[in-house]
Amino acid sequence: MSFPAHPFWDFSLLFYRKPGVADACLFVQDRYGLNVNLIMFCVWYAKTGGGVLATGDITAALQRISDWEASVIKPLREIRRVCRHEALGIPEFLLQLFQPEVENTELEAEHVEQLVLAEFARGLSPAAGSNTPADDAAQSLKNYVAALDIQQDAQLTECLSIILQAAFDGAGLPGGDAPSP
């Protein structure tokens, strides 16, 4: 399948491979229900000069992708996980043929979601940000956590800090902390 090229997708592929990012993203996805694509979106938007994503913008983005997330991505993720971790009575060689196809389809579904988020960004007016893109990304992630009404704890703070530090080449964050509501 061939999707249109987009800098958001290119950024995400490189960023996700940075040390600690995948583990931190998957942890907050599984533990807190955060959407990895929206985390990437918050960081990318700030890095490209968009400023801070307000809580209302994040809520609108979540609404825009919610049906796709619930109906396509989450079921594909569950199929992938079941095939990887459960004895299903299927010979191993058949699972080894099937699993890459499921993983590829899940990745393509994530790509679609990112293209939708990128199109959504085109409709946003650049927000007045703070002094740096790192500060803007931290504030956007804070707004995302607030939009979901998630209780901040040390593990969430640590994971978001890992993500932000990787995004901004280890640069310290304001006050040395990850965002907290």
Quick: pLDDT tens for 12-38: 999 999 999 999 999 999 999 999 999
Cα separations in angstroms, 48 against 7, 105, 112 = 10, 28, 20
Q: Give the pLDDT confidence of 152-173 residue by residue, as tens digits.
A: 899 999 999 999 999 998 754 4
Tell whether the torsion through CA atoms of 11, 141, 179 and 155 is positive or negative.
negative
**Its pTM surpasses 0.85:** yes
Residue 39: CB partners within 8 Å, gap ≥ 6? 25, 28, 141, 144, 163
Residue 141: CB partners within 8 Å, gap ≥ 6? 39, 42, 43, 160, 163, 164, 178, 179
> Which two structure tokens, joined as six digits, stand for 109?
């579904």
